[in-house]
Amino acid sequence: MKTIPEFSTEEEEQIFWENHDSTEFLDWKKAQLVKLPNLKKSTKTISLRLPADMLESLKIRANAMDIPYQSLIKMFLQKELRS
């Protein structure tokens, strides 16, 4: 196995890995699964048009559950995507 060089910048490292195969530097057979419990998924802001009465119903239901209505929408979407 080759030794991974030291990099002075992240850009330098990116350029290196764009031009080199990691199998020359790492034995992927020895790789282990790593869990990162505090890593947050990146999010993207979207615009969603809803009928006013639907939005009001969502807000009332979310308020009863003591959560923001956007979180309730995400919960509904996640549940639907799982099924």
**Main-chain dihedrals φ then ψ at residue 11, nearest 5 degrees:** -60, -40
The answer to whether residues 42 and 36 touch, using CB atoms and an 8 Å cutoff, is no
pLDDT of res. 41? 84
pLDDT of res. 6? 96
pLDDT of res. 78? 96
Distances (CA, A) of 37 to 19, 31, 41: 32, 19, 11
Domain ranges for the chain: 1-32, 48-83
Q: Name 55's Cβ contacts closer than 8 Å, sequence gap at least 6.
A: 69
Separation of alpha carbons 72 and 55, rounded Å? 11
Provide the whole-model pTM. 0.53
pLDDT in tens, the chain (83 residues): 999 999 999 999 999 999 999 999 999 999 999 998 898 888 899 999 999 999 999 999 999 999 999 999 999 999 999 98
